[in-house]
Structure 1
């Protein structure tokens, strides 16, 4: 199977580009690493085989056309949800604002998340809702710093937890939603992604990435045929060939077997003292 691997899907135009890059744009096979509440808008489209490494563990299904109405969010008893003149939505408890609600962009009613604050104004926790209105996650804070992210299945049971220290995820756990027994733990987000990718793609699959960031790290131990379709300049801001690209071309990074570049970028690489056996030129989605 041919997959497109992306870190995240954040905008409509990006999604159209991802589908166009797929071997079958009408039935794309897309793997994403970051799970976001809005992902269901894209992966819920007919014909899309969308796999998110986190949603795969929570067994989340997408329900296009559904959403959570803005006044259907859990608030303390007797609290009021009030729409301000500027369009923002406040939650008041005994006359004091204790949180704000945010809607999905370009909607008038669909709740995206609720952000509760402490009496001193610092963040307490955020409850996020998937695009179809189901509870997606809770983000917990202490002294205005995020400490934990909890991702739920559609029975609102915790399955995956990210623990943070100084804004860095340094522990990921996967638990049984019924017994809460920890089934797996990872010392980093990269280790989590790497293990999940190994369980999805096989030696018979082809995976295409555009960037040499977290996507490249996630493919580290896969057996699939992996393609880098270079979406950025081969040169960094100092005019040098990007370090990861050098390592790919010299086979110090063996994860990528094929590098696809534009004709202009090929000319740039020709001027470098680098092997180009892995490189092919792409023009209008056709390899030359």
Structure 2
């Protein structure tokens, strides 16, 4: 199978480009790494085989056309939800604002998340809703610093947890949603990505990436045929060939077997005297 591996899908234009460049344009096979409540807008399209690492573990299915109405969010019984003149939404408890609600862009009623605050105004926790209105995650804070992210299945049972220290994810656990027994444990987000991507792609598959960041490192130890379709400028701000690209072309990074570049970029790399054996002009 031919896959496109992306970090995240954040905009409609980006999604259209991903589908246009996918090896199988009639039925794009797209793997995404980052958790994203909005992902259902794209992966829920007919004919798209979209695989998100978290959704795969939580077995989440998206239902286009459904959403959570903005006043259908969990609040204390007597609380009031007000739409302010500037379009923002406030939640009041006994006259004091305890939370703000945000809607999905370009919608008038679809709840995206609710951000609850402590008495001193610092964040307490955020509840995120998937594009179809189901509860997607809770993000827990202390002194405005995120400490834990919990991702749920569609029965509102926790399945995956990210634990953070000083803004860095240093532990990921996957648990049985019924018994809460920890089934898998990872010491970093990259370790989690590596293991989950390896469990999806096989040596018979082809995986295409566009960027040399987390997409590249998540392919470590895969046995698939991996292609870099270069979307970045091959040179950095100092006019040198980007380090990861040079390592790929010199085969110091063996994760990528083929590099697809434009004729313009090919000439740039040729002038720099880099090995061109992996390069294919598109």
Flag whether TM exceeds 0.5 (same fold): yes
Query: Matched residues in 2 for 1:202 and 1:215: separation?
Result: 17
Q: State the 1:169 CA deviation.
A: 0.5
- Higher mean displacement: 273-282 or 94-103: 273-282
Equivalent residue number for residue 135 of structure 1: 135
Query: Matched residues in 2 for 1:75 and 1:239: separation?
Result: 55
Equivalent residue number for residue 88 of structure 2: 88
SS at match of 2:45: coil
SS at match of 2:37: coil
Equivalent residue number for residue 74 of structure 2: 74
Query: Matched residues in 2 for 1:260 and 1:85: separation?
Result: 51
Equivalent residue number for residue 29 of structure 2: 29
TM-score by length of 1: 0.97
Residues 33-52 of structure 1 aligned to structure 2 (within 5 Å): 33-52=33-52
Q: State the 1:171 CA deviation.
A: 0.5
Q: 1:236-277 CA distances to partner (integer Å, 9 max, x unpaired)? A: 111110000111001110000000000000000001132110
Query: Matched residues in 1 for 2:118 and 2:207: separation?
Result: 45
Q: State the 1:26 CA deviation.
A: 2.6
Q: 1:34-72 CA distances to partner (integer Å, 9 max, x unpaired)? A: 020000000000000000011100000000000000000
Q: 1:69-112 CA distances to partner (integer Å, 9 max, x unpaired)? A: 00000101100111111110000000000000000000000000
- Higher mean displacement: 78-87 or 18-27: 18-27
Q: State the 1:25 CA deviation.
A: 1.7
SS at match of 1:81: strand
Q: 1:131-153 CA distances to partner (integer Å, 9 max, x unpaired)? A: 00000000000000000000000
Give the length in aligned residue pairs: 282
Equivalent residue number for residue 146 of structure 1: 146
Q: Which runs of 5+ in 2 are unaligned?
A: none
Q: 1:173-202 CA distances to partner (integer Å, 9 max, x unpaired)? A: 000001101111111100000000100000
The answer to whether the aligner puts 1:121 opposite 2:121 as a matched pair is: yes
Equivalent residue number for residue 162 of structure 1: 162
Query: Matched residues in 1 for 2:93 and 2:120: separation?
Result: 15
Q: 1:190-234 CA distances to partner (integer Å, 9 max, x unpaired)? A: 000000010000000000000000000000010000000000111
Query: Matched residues in 2 for 1:144 and 1:266: separation?
Result: 47
Query: Matched residues in 1 for 2:141 and 2:45: separation?
Result: 34
Q: Which runs of 4+ in 1 moved over 2 A?
A: none
Equivalent residue number for residue 285 of structure 1: none
The answer to whether the aligner puts 1:187 opposite 2:198 as a matched pair is: no
RMSD: 0.5
The answer to whether the aligner puts 1:15 opposite 2:24 as a matched pair is: no
Query: Matched residues in 1 for 2:202 and 2:11: separation?
Result: 29
Equivalent residue number for residue 204 of structure 2: 204
Query: Matched residues in 2 for 1:215 and 1:64: separation?
Result: 28
SS at match of 2:164: strand
Query: Matched residues in 2 for 1:210 and 1:73: separation?
Result: 38
Equivalent residue number for residue 286 of structure 1: none
